[in-house]
Structure formats: C-alpha cells, structure tokens
Structure 1
C-alpha cells in the first residue's frame, strides 16, 4: 500500500519538471517577421461636378414675323444647316426681286455708257455716277438676300433639340426663344478643388466620374482645362474635364461625383499588425541578429492591411508582425522556417484486399 503514494509523488515531480525542461530547450519567443517595404502615400480627392454640352445654344429668330413652318421635336437630332423655323416671307421675296431688277437695269445702263466711252458721248463724271449706281444696286440686292435669309432659322451645328413653346401662326421677334440645341457627343464637366491641390493636376490627367443617377457605372474623363487663379472668397480653383458621350448615356446638367487619387511622399510600409501603441505613441519591434529592438515610429496613413510609418526603419528590415505581445527589449527571437513545421516522417500504408 505504501508503494502507491511513492509512485504518485514521483509522477507529480516529473510532471512539474516538464515545463522547465521545455523552456530550457527553447527560451526564444516564436513570432512572425515581415520585411519593411517601400510604400507611397495617396491622397483621395473627391468633388462634385456638373456636365455641360460641348456646344450649347438657345436659338432665337433673326427678325420679327409670323411662324409659317416649325420643324422642332424635343430630343430629335438635327444636322448643321437644317431649317428649324420659317417666318412669313412674301414681303422679303418681293424686295429681293425688286432689288435684282434694279441691279440688272443699272448694269445694262453701265454697259451702254461704256460702249460709247471711246466716241466721247459721255463724260467721265457721268460714267463714274453710273458705276456708283451699279454698286449701290448690288449692295441693295445683297441686303435683300440677307433679309430673306433672316426669315428662317437653321441649326448652326449638329445636335439634339430641346423643348419649344412656339406654334405655327404665332408672331415672334428676335427676343422670342425658339428652342435649345446641344452637341452632347462630348460633355464638359466642371468642378472645384481646394487651392492647395493647384499644381498637382495637369491637363491630360485622367479622373473617375460617377453620375449620381447611375452610381453603378463609373466612367473615365480627361482634364482639358485648369483655371489660372484661385478664388479669393472660396479658396478654390476650377477645372474642366472632357467626357466622351458618343453612346449618349449622359445629359447636360447631370451631376457627377469626381474621384482622383494623387501620389504623395514615400514612406516605410509595414503590416498593420506590426504597429503597436504605448505611452509614448506608436512603435514596432525590429529584429536584428535574432534580437528584438523597440523602434518608435509615427503613423502616416493606413492602406488596407498595411500602414505607412515614419521612423528609423530601412527597407528590408525585419519587424514583428505576429507575437508582438511576447516581445521585450533584447529578447532572443527564434525564427521559424514554415517549411519545417510539417516535416513529419513517412508513414507506410497497406491497401485492404477487397472481400471476395
């Protein structure tokens, strides 16, 4: 009976000695190391812009009169030179015919006078007066042609028409709007940025646009103009981007969310898990020659699972990214080779013979 207590006591002593033996065999702290890499800070700029057509006009009549023909349909595309509105033009046509007849008479008279010039029938002064009459008749006819042309309004360029309030038979004057015309194959998107970004963007840079009405479809645009001055009241400056709209997805007046990332200064990049915090701020554990060293750093920015820091770190330095809670200054660090963790001896296996 006395043998049992003695065996139990010896077993207890052996179990108590096992942790000490294990620690004596390996007194280093197992951690994961990551190399310091070069990273670049990136500033994300966001703004709101409004789209404008590449060319946009409100059309007005050139003269006063009654509308006799109206060829305006909202949303319809027209070509340059296509007639949109015609006014009553009988009086203008009569004036052109009369001016044409007077020009013919003046030219015939001049021809007769010049044929008798060599015989001395007409004095030089008379010939000069007739030539002046021809020139006046020619100018009168040209003015009559312009007056007739003003009785209709053509599209100055190809584009899409807007709404109109005109009706056939309505009397209009040069202050009566006919409709709008937009060339929207290319849109101009204007937006403003804070003054301290001036000089960080250039003509030709690409930006990302997202229409508020279509947040699922971001598109790319090119900066084509940058204002030369900063507004004194707002501290901002204006930019204009060109958006290709040949597929006619967007409309003038749409609002866009504008995003652009700017490359900033370069810093040391480390895993976010390597950054520790203490009473004196942020720090990391750097391992050199198998020994841990605490290095104070300054957090600059977070980028996904990495952080950018400033401090006495060099590219390629090893920092502790896992197991930092076990670190102490000067502690020995045992570097584990992951390839050896699964280095188990081979096990032979025999396949069973199928039952007969």
Structure 2
C-alpha cells in the first residue's frame, strides 16, 4: 500500500511539473509572437531640403603671423651698460637711442688720436711742398702719406667703437621686454630687447601642390581667428614660393595684412581663406544632418511611402562632404537637390526606421551663427 501511495504522489508531481512547464512555454511563445508583431512608434525628427547655393571659391589653410621686420637687438661689443634710454613695450622710430655702453676708455683715447691725425695731415702738406721743390724724395713723401692714413684710421676705429656701443633702433617698431639692467656687463651678442614692426604684418601658410595653378600674387585673402573674434581682416598674397616642399608636396605662400590696431602679433596662428575668381555651385545641408563615422559619413533621406497607410521612413545614404561654412556643409557626392534629409537627431535613427516629421522646433541654421553663450 505504501509503495502504491508513493507511486501516485510521484506521478502527481510529474503531472504538475508538466502542466507548469506547458503554461510557461505558452507564455514564452506568446511573448515571442508579440515581439515579432511589435512596431516601435515613429521617431520625431526635424527635416530640411537639400538646397543648391553659390559659394565663393576659396582655398582654406592655417597660417602663422610673422613680422615684416623683427629682430632681437643685441650688443655688438662687450661693455658695461651705462644708460638705458627706452621703455619696454613702447613704439620707437628708426635711429632712436636704446642703450649706451661705457665708452669712457674710447673717449679718452679719441683726443690723442685726433691730434696725431692732425699732425700727420700737417706733415703731409709740408711733404707735398718739399716734394714739389725737390728737397725730399718720393719715398719720403709716401712715408708721410702712409703715416697720415694710419693716424686717420685709428681715429675712425675709435669712433666706430663708440658708435657700436651707442645702440640705436635699426628700424621703427614696437619694443618688447627689457632683457638688461643698468650696470650689467654685456658680452658680444647678448640680447637687449626685441623690436618688431607690427603694421603691416605677414601671414605665412601652405597649400597643396594640386592648387598651385590657381595661385598668384595679388589674390585677396581673408584672415579670421581668435585674435580678431567675429571679424575678418583682408589682405593680399605678396609672395608665392617658387619651390614646392618635397616632404609635404605643398607650396608656401605669404600674404600682407594691414594691422593698425596691433592686435595681430607675430607667432599667432590664424585661419586663412584665399579668394579665387568666380563662384562654385554646391549642394548644402546642415552639419547636424551628418552622422559622422570612421568608415564613412552618412545622412538619413526621408522617403514618402506610396501607401498612405504606411508611415514615413528614412534611408541611410553615405555621402562625401566638402567645405563647411557656418552651420552648413557642402555635399560633393551622394545627394541630389530637392531631397529631404533629417536635420537633427540622426544619432538615434537606423536604416528603414519610421519617423514623424515635426519642424515646429527646428533649429535656425545660419552661415554666420552667433551662439547666445558667446
């Protein structure tokens, strides 16, 4: 009896487990079927038509500002600083006194040398008279002439030393930080102060060799960057290097800019745009419409269904991009004029996804945007 009772209990448990497993399997199959039939709600997006526009034909590069004239004024001869005649950071004219070294030794020697040269001149005049009278020989006259020239050369050497120790501005410009102190003993070549001409100023930049045929002196350039926020300074190409750099296959160019305010300083980097003749026709879309990826950039093209009951879908289209200006970017291949692309929220889309177009809160795209937090 006990064995039959245990057998019935085991059979009952097996039947119960089978029922529970069957119910659970039915639930799982129902969930799988529901998942297959589930259609996610359309994703809300903003859109914009691909439009054709005419842009200036520009070549862009990053340039570096250099002074038209710039030098570190240094001592030509060794000597002690006896006078500093400039204020750091001020503007000076060509020939203005910058620094005076001690010339007391040379000034003490100069009167004696001048007197010796005067005596030599007098002896030379007497020798000329005596030679004409036939009293002295030509050799005696030549000796007197050589002595005079030696004495005069000694005077010129002392005066040249005094002039070299009287350091003056080689050209007009703006001074930098003072690097010497009163009473300091300078050695030959020791720096004293930097001197830069700021107006006009050069901007050096490079462009690929493929664009060499389009470049020539006189082409206008437009310079922008952090030194002049929100502004552009115009200038012209003044030098085209005849040599293409063999390591980079690029061509060096130099443009000259007016800089009356002095905001542009040597050593700054700026953005340079060379304006070429004519204009180029481009297809433009908002930069926010592009899904950037390492393998290729893409956009989502909005496709209207033939069946009104079906929703609007998007198609992922790979594109090749060109120049960027403001909020817009040019598309060289992949799109046609008049097509509609998703202008924002592309990171949450996938190919073939259903979308709901809502342009009520679409951002205003501009060529010269001015963000509020600026």
Q: What TM bracket, shorter-length normalisation?
A: 0.5 to 0.7
1:213/1:114 Cα in 2 relative to 1: closer, same or farther (>3 Å)? closer
| Structure 2, unaligned runs of 5 or more | 1-51, 286-319, 340-374
Q: Following the alignment from structure 1 to structure 2, what is the Cα–Cα distance between the partners of residues 213 and 260?
A: 19
Matched, 1:178 2:192: yes
Give the root-mean-square deviation of aligned CA atoms: 3.5
1:286-305 paired onto structure 2 within 5 Å: none
1:118/1:232 Cα in 2 relative to 1: closer, same or farther (>3 Å)? closer
Deviations along 1:35-94, whole A, 9 cap, x unmatched? Answer: xx9x97865422111111110011111211110001232220011111101011011112
Match of 1:222 in 2: 236
Matched, 1:260 2:243: no
> Of residues 207, 214, 228 in structure 2, which corresponds to 1:200?
214
Q: Following the alignment from structure 1 to structure 2, what is the Cα–Cα distance between the partners of residues 160 and 187?
A: 13
Q: Following the alignment from structure 1 to structure 2, what is the Cα–Cα distance between the partners of residues 217 and 181?
A: 27
> Of residues 122, 125, 128 in structure 1, which corresponds to 2:139?
125
Asked whether the 8 Å contact 2:95–2:168 carries over to 1, the reply is: yes
Q: Following the alignment from structure 2 to structure 1, what is the Cα–Cα distance between the partners of residues 330 and 76?
A: 66
> Of residues 263, 284, 288 in structure 2, which corresponds to 1:249?
263
Match of 2:29 in 1: none
TM (normalized to structure 1)? 0.62
Match of 1:233 in 2: 247
1:115/1:301 Cα in 2 relative to 1: closer, same or farther (>3 Å)? closer
Matched, 1:145 2:159: yes
Q: Following the alignment from structure 2 to structure 1, what is the Cα–Cα distance between the partners of residues 277 and 198?
A: 33
| Structure 1, unaligned runs of 5 or more | 1-36, 273-298, 310-319, 323-356
Q: Following the alignment from structure 1 to structure 2, what is the Cα–Cα distance between the partners of residues 136 and 142?
A: 10
Partner of 1:199, secondary structure, is helix
1:40/1:70 Cα in 2 relative to 1: closer, same or farther (>3 Å)? same
Match of 1:349 in 2: none
Match of 1:46 in 2: 60
Match of 2:224 in 1: 210
Matched, 1:109 2:97: no
TM (normalized to structure 2)? 0.60
Asked whether the 8 Å contact 1:53–1:188 carries over to 2, the reply is: yes
Aligned length in residues: 252
Asked whether the 8 Å contact 1:41–1:263 carries over to 2, the reply is: no
